[in-house]
């Protein structure tokens, strides 16, 4: 996974798995057949509100299904519906702290630009990915893709060459990340 869609969160299930899902889909699953009794627009707005709360206000890409259900219950009640979560969520046993590591692609491109542009950039990028994954993060974020591409392409404005290089970098990171064993417990975001 390179980047979650804007309407997705990573859900912790009761059996310890981490599953990326659309907030609206999880809302429909939690509501079951009761979702058919409610206006779909209300369901859409409720799931968007809960998604916004966790993702933007709390800045949490990871949420337990129980936490999501309780927040959804509060939102639906604010819309005037009588809903109740089936059970109180069990607190996760000693939740591990979320480790988010970041790398700056523009800085990597700067060091590569002095020594051979793309020829050195891609091996340095692979090395940086491995180095960061060695620290066991939950989320690995590569920032500065736009500036990195323009720097490597030597472009003042975005052009076709930039778009091609952009796609190559994202595909390269994706393929390198998928081959690493540590990628199973880590999400990758490139922006």
The structure tokens listed for 148 are 């990195």
**Of the residues 78, 110, 135, the one at which a domain ends:** 78
Domain span at residue 161 reads 100-190
Residues 120 and 74 in one domain: no
Q: How many domains does the chain have?
A: 2
Q: Quick one: which of 91, 170, 90 has its CA closest to 129? A: 170
Per-residue pLDDT of 50-80, as tens digits, reads 777 777 777 777 777 777 777 777 777 766 6
pTM reported for the whole predicted model: 0.52
| C-beta separation of 68 from 9 below 8 A | yes
Indicate the pairing of strand 8-12 with strand 100-104. Answer: unpaired
Whether 123 and 186 map to the same domain: the answer is yes
Evaluate whether residue 87 is within a structural domain.
no
Residue of 68, 60, 110, 106 whose CA lies nearest to 85? 68
The answer on 169 and 117 residing in a single domain is yes
The tokens describing 2, both together, are: 């390179």
Residue 32 CA to residue 98 CA, distance in Å, equals 31
**pLDDT tens digits along 124-140:** 999 999 999 988 888 88
Residues 96 and 87: their CA atoms lie apart, in Å, by 23
Contacts of 65 (CB under 8 A, 6+ apart): 11, 12, 13, 14, 26, 30, 89
Does residue 55 sit in the same domain as residue 121? no
Is 149 among the domain residues? yes
Residue 3 within a domain = no
- The residue out of 43, 78, 113 marking a domain boundary is 78
73 and 107 share one domain: no
């Amino acid at each position: 996974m390179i980047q979650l869609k804007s309407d997705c969160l990573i859900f912790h299930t009761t059996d310890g798995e981490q599953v990326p899902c659309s907030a609206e889909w999880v809302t429909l699953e939690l509501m079951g057949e009761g979702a058919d009794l409610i206006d779909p627009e209300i369901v859409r707005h409720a799931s968007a509100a809960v998604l916004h709360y966790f993702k933007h206000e709390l800045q949490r890409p990871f949420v337990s299904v129980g936490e999501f259900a309780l927040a959804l219950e509060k939102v639906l009640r604010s819309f005037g519906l009588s809903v109740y979560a089936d059970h109180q969520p069990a607190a996760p046993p000693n939740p591990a702290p979320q480790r988010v590591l970041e790398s700056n692609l523009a800085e990597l491109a700067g060091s590569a630009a002095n020594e051979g542009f793309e020829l050195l950039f891609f091996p340095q990028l692979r090395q940086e990915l491995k180095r960061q994954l060695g620290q066991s993060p939950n989320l690995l974020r590569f920032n500065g893709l736009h500036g990195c591409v323009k720097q490597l392409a030597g472009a003042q404005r975005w052009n076709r060459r930039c778009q091609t290089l952009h796609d190559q970098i994202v595909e390269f990171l994706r393929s390198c990340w998928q081959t690493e064993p540590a990628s199973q417990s880590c999400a990758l975001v490139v922006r």
